């Protein structure tokens, strides 16, 4: 894990500790920025910003692969924004009304209010929101696993981006778009994944970075 990636993870953890939902808000903003950048790449290279319409992604179809990646980042941004909002409501309610530590940690009976109360209530709310979100995602994943389609388009998109980046020459829209998209998606992991990993390992890692969680 690089210093940049580690620093970002620590920042989100610290933010969530003090203001429940702030880490999800950071993730939402980051995912939205990546979605917007991928849209700019589509426009610059293909003069096309239409959304991903579903379906399989051919190995040489950089445009569809980027559309898919863009849709996943947008989905992630919207989902994390909703989660952040739900957690923050719990924080505000706790800060406004006060809370007893005993209601959260039974062995303590100290009454607290303000930000401390907000953190206590917000932490409980965060746990509930996160649990519900994970249940929804696991149910969806199980359904796709039964259908045999779980991760299929993610892997197709990952493979297409790596193929187009490595096969087409610089100056070809498919190469240039794929290269720029890989930089956006992988960020600090670009060199490690694209230049050093064996192909199948690179596909797996890129597909993992395309998840909307």
For the segment 1-49, what is each residue's pLDDT rounded down to a tens digit? Answer: 444 444 554 445 445 544 545 567 778 888 888 999 999 999 999 999 8
Judge whether 7 lies within some domain: yes
Assigned domain for 190 exists: yes
pLDDT at 94 (0 to 100): 45
Note the pTM of the prediction, 2 decimals.
Answer: 0.63
Is there a domain that residue 98 lies in?
no
Q: How many domains does the chain have?
A: 1
Asked whether the beta carbons of 77 and 102 are under 8 A apart, the reply is: no
For residue 124, tell me if it sits in a domain.
no
- The whole-angstrom separation of Cα 90 and Cα 173 is 47
Domain membership of residue 142 (yes or no) is yes
- What would the pLDDT profile of 159-190 be if each residue is shown by its tens digit? 999 999 999 999 999 999 999 999 999 999 99
Mind giving me the DSSP string for 37-78? HHHHHHHHHHS--PPP--S---TT-HHHHHHHHHHHHHHHHH
77 in any annotated domain: yes
Phi-psi region of 114 (alpha: psi -120 to 50; beta: other; left: phi over 0): left
């Amino acid at each position: 894990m690089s210093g940049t990636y580690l620093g970002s993870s620590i920042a989100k953890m610290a933010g969530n500790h003090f203001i429940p939902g702030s880490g999800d808000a950071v993730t939402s903003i980051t995912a939205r920025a990546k979605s917007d950048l991928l849209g700019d790449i589509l426009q610059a290279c293909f003069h096309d910003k239409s959304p991903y319409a579903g379906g399989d992604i051919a190995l040489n179809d950089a445009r569809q692969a980027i559309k898919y990646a863009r849709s996943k980042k947008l989905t992630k941004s919207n989902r994390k924004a909703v989660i952040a909002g739900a957690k923050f409501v719990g924080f505000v309610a706790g800060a406004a009304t006060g809370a007893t530590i005993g209601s959260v940690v039974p062995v303590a009976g100290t009454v607290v209010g303000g930000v401390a109360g907000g953190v206590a209530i917000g932490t409980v709310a965060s746990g509930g929101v996160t649990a519900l979100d994970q249940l929804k995602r696991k149910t969806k994943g199980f359904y796709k696993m039964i259908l045999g389609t779980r991760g299929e388009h993610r892997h197709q998109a990952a493979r297409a981006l790596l193929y187009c980046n490595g096969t087409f020459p610089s100056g070809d829209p498919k190469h240039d778009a794929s290269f720029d998209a890989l930089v956006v998606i992988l960020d600090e992991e670009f060199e490690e994944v694209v230049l050093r990993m064996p192909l199948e390992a690179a596909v797996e890692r890129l597909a993992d970075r395309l998840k909307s969680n």
